[in-house]
């Protein structure tokens, strides 16, 4: 076998598929730069971010051809864009079938059993690859045995049975090196965002920070346990502070965003880190996303504000105690939510919250409770998602066991059009179109109902109110487009009609019966 010397690590372009149907992801190449740091001393490593460059398939093929790699490693943040990984592997095969292809990342970890059917991938890395990937390279160069953990292969002597894959978790995250940011022009990531959304930073240049992996909570809809494991593993507070100082000194960073699966699991560690940020005068703005509200107390919220946190996005999920306890299995108490929300606002931080509707057994009354609760809290911006049974989750098992998967999914339970804006779950209480329209209109009504709210949100997003109005209009076009796509038809006027058939729909149903929505170019609001 040819010796492996030149390696190209690839982020495929999300726009190779119908990108506007999907969530807007702002991807920093942390995983590729970390993997590069593990192997750069022994191999010639390049990183090709086709997503950042917005490469067409033809441009991607030329870039790969110019680099002349022996092996290409592809990664994918989310199985929402699974198609682009397969496109990337096929394009590489067209260039040179001798190039070895390896797929890793979230999609590979969650869906490796079905991915194995695609012979364009020579190897599939399941789980964390920082240690197993160098082992694979040694094996390919006849210097080690085939990795006993974390890999599927195709040759004799390699693991070819997906049911027998074994993966381990890296316990000591401090043992990993700092990512090799020099492998990319990192300034291009720090000074831009892919799309204007409520989630983008207030201040530039910024970075994305991940200080831990795993989450022990076990929410039924969440893939984290499948991807990162249930055990909580973390960098030491000293390592976190060191990384922040390096970002400031080497890259001029003025802000960061936390990307941990659940940064707040260990309250003691959180307080140590925040107090160290004050002591060391880190002086960076930051935003916290998907924060489990039950991990917060008054001291943590106060420390967050003092250390420069500008915005907190709480993972509340539902306004129904039953849905939280019995369906989502999340230890959230609504009275505590009220207290935390008030504390966050009192400390002067912007407040964002995530809610999910459309779970199995959830009633219209419980969905109404969620919208009512979101209004009651006076949140600056409320996100409403539709429950999606992601592969490997407890929710997925619930849906499959009870034969509740919608028609636009295949019989294996693999979503053909995975997103959080269209129902994948059947119910006697709603249709797919019901929830699609309901979500759109309640999102508009709750978030943009007053001039004051619109002004506030425009300020949070760093845009004018006129620009905000256009985003809202375009978002409704995307609601229409989702319905058209699911139903596969539109009327002679290029419009789709969505009829409501009773008073059981939503608290705002009477204000929009029989609404007609114009088809337009779908644009993601991050909503």
Residues 276 and 405 occupy one common structural domain: yes
Model pLDDT for residues 143-159, shown as the tens digit of each residue: 999 999 999 999 999 99
Identify the CATH number of the domain in which residue 62 sits: 3.40.50.280
pLDDT of res. 476:
75
Specify if 242 maps to a domain.
yes
Average pLDDT over residues 362-377: 96
Specify if 123 maps to a domain.
yes
Residues 160 and 194 occupy one common structural domain: no
pLDDT of res. 526:
44
pLDDT of res. 20:
64
Domain that holds residue 30: 6-164
Specify if 499 maps to a domain.
no
The count of other CB atoms within 10 Å of the CB of residue 409 is 18
Specify if 497 maps to a domain.
no
102 beta partners: 73, 123
Of the pLDDT bands very low, low, confident and very high (cuts 50, 70, 90), residue 80 is: confident
Distance separating alpha carbons of residues 358 and 366, to the nearest angstrom: 10
Of the pLDDT bands very low, low, confident and very high (cuts 50, 70, 90), residue 485 is: low
Residues 69 and 197 occupy one common structural domain: no
Specify if 129 maps to a domain.
yes
What totals of helices (H) and strands (E) does the chain contain, helices first? 18, 16
pLDDT score of 493 more than 80 = no
Average pLDDT over residues 64-76: 97
Model pLDDT for residues 186-215, shown as the tens digit of each residue: 999 999 887 788 998 999 999 999 999 999
Residue 17 DSSP class: S
Which is more confidently placed, 43 or 424? 43
Exposure letters 178-213 (e unless 16+ CB within 10 A, then b): ebbbebbebeebbeeebbbbbbbbbbebbbbbbbbb
Of residues 312, 291, 434, the one with CA closest to residue 380 = 312
Distance separating alpha carbons of residues 106 and 325, to the nearest angstrom: 28
Distance separating alpha carbons of residues 52 and 185, to the nearest angstrom: 11
Identify the H or E element spanning 74. strand 71-76
Q: State which of 164, 182, 207 marks the end of a domain.
A: 164
Terminal C-alpha separation, the chain:
49
How many domains, the chain?
Answer: 2
Distance separating alpha carbons of residues 345 and 151, to the nearest angstrom: 47
Identify the CATH number of the domain in which residue 230 sits: 3.80.30.20
Specify if 144 maps to a domain.
yes
Contacts 24+ apart (CB under 8 A), 234-240: 234/173, 234/266, 234/269, 235/173, 235/174, 235/211, 236/174, 237/269, 237/272, 237/273, 237/276, 238/276, 239/173, 239/174, 239/211, 240/209, 240/211, 240/273, 240/276
Contacts of 462 (CB under 8 A, 6+ apart): 196, 200, 202
Angle of helix 364-377 relative to helix 432-447, nearest 10 degrees? 20
Residues 262 and 361 occupy one common structural domain: yes
pLDDT of res. 339:
98
Residues 145 and 278 occupy one common structural domain: no
Contacts of 369 (CB under 8 A, 6+ apart): 318, 319, 320
Residue 146 DSSP class: P
Residues 339 and 444 occupy one common structural domain: yes
pLDDT of res. 223:
93
Size of the chain, expressed as the number of residues it contains:
527
Write phi, then psi, for 492 (nearest 5 degrees): -65, -20
Residues 149 and 235 occupy one common structural domain: no
Note if the bond before 205 is cis, omega within 30 degrees: yes
Residues 114 and 234 occupy one common structural domain: no
Quick check: 17 and 84 in contact, CB under 8 A? yes
Distance separating alpha carbons of residues 355 and 308, to the nearest angstrom: 26
Of the pLDDT bands very low, low, confident and very high (cuts 50, 70, 90), residue 126 is: very high
Residues 158 and 306 occupy one common structural domain: no
Residues 300 and 384 occupy one common structural domain: yes
Model pLDDT for residues 343-356, shown as the tens digit of each residue: 999 999 999 999 99
pLDDT score of 63 more than 70 = yes
Write phi, then psi, for 22 (nearest 5 degrees): -110, 170
Specify if 498 maps to a domain.
no
Specify if 524 maps to a domain.
no
Residues 142 and 274 occupy one common structural domain: no
Radius of gyration over every alpha carbon of the chain, rounded to an integer in angstroms: 23
pLDDT score of 39 more than 90 = yes
Residues 132 and 262 occupy one common structural domain: no
Identify the H or E element spanning 386. strand 381-386
pLDDT of res. 411:
41
């Amino acid at each position: 076998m040819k010796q492996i010397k030149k390696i190209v690590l690839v982020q495929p372009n999300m726009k190779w598929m119908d990108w506007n149907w999907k969530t807007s992801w702002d991807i920093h190449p942390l995983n590729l730069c970390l993997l590069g740091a593990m192997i750069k001393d022994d191999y010639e490593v390049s990183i090709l971010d086709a997503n950042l460059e917005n490469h067409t398939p033809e441009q991607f093929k030329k870039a790969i051809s110019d680099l002349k790699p022996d092996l290409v490693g592809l990664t994918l943040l989310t199985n929402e864009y699974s198609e682009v990984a397969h496109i990337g592997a096929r394009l590489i095969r067209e260039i040179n079938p001798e190039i070895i292809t390896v797929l890793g990342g979230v999609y590979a970890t969650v869906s490796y059993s079905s991915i194995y059917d695609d012979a364009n991938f020579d190897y599939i890395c399941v789980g964390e690859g920082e240690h197993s990937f160098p082992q694979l390279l040694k094996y390919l160069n006849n210097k080690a045995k085939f990795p006993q953990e974390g890999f599927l292969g195709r040759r004799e002597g390699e693991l070819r049975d997906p049911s027998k894959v074994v993966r381990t978790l890296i316990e000591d995250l401090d043992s990993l090196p700092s990512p090799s940011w020099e492998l990319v022009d990192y300034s291009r990531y720090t000074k831009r965002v892919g799309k204007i959304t409520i989630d983008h930073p207030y201040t530039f240049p910024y970075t994305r920070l991940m200080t831990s992996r795993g989450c022990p909570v076990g929410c039924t809809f969440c893939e984290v346990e499948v991807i990162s494991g249930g055990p909580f593993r973390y960098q030491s507070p000293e390592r976190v502070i060191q990384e922040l100082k390096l970002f400031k000194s080497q890259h001029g960073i003025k802000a960061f965003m936390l990307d941990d699966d659940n940064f707040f699991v260990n309250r003691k560690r959180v307080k140590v880190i925040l107090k160290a940020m004050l002591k060391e005068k880190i002086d960076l703005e930051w935003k916290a996303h998907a924060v489990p509200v039950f991990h917060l107390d008054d001291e943590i919220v106060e420390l967050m504000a003092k250390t420069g946190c500008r915005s907190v996005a709480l993972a509340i999920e539902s306004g129904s105690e039953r849905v939280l306890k019995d369906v989502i299995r999340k230890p959230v108490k609504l009275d505590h939510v009220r207290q935390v929300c008030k504390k966050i606002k009192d400390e002067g931080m912007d407040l964002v919250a995530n809610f999910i509707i459309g779970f199995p057994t959830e009633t219209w009354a419980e969905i109404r409770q969620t919208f009512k609760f979101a209004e009651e809290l006076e949140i600056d911006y409320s996100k409403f998602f539709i429950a999606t049974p992601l592969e490997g989750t407890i929710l997925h098992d619930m849906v499959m066991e009870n034969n509740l998967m919608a028609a636009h999914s295949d019989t294996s339970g693999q979503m053909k059009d995975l997103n959080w804006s269209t129902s994948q779950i059947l119910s006697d209480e709603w249709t797919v179109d019901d929830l699609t329209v309901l979500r759109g209109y309640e999102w508009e009504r709750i978030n943009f109902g007053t001039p004051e709210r619109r002004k506030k949100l425009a300020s949070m997003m760093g845009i004018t109110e006129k620009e905000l109005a256009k985003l809202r209009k375009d978002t409704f076009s995307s609601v229409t487009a989702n319905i058209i796509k699911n139903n596969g038809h539109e009327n002679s006027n290029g419009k789709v009609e969505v009829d409501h058939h009773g008073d059981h729909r939503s608290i705002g149903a009477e204000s929009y019966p029989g609404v007609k929505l114009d088809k337009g170019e779908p644009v993601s609001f991050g909503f």
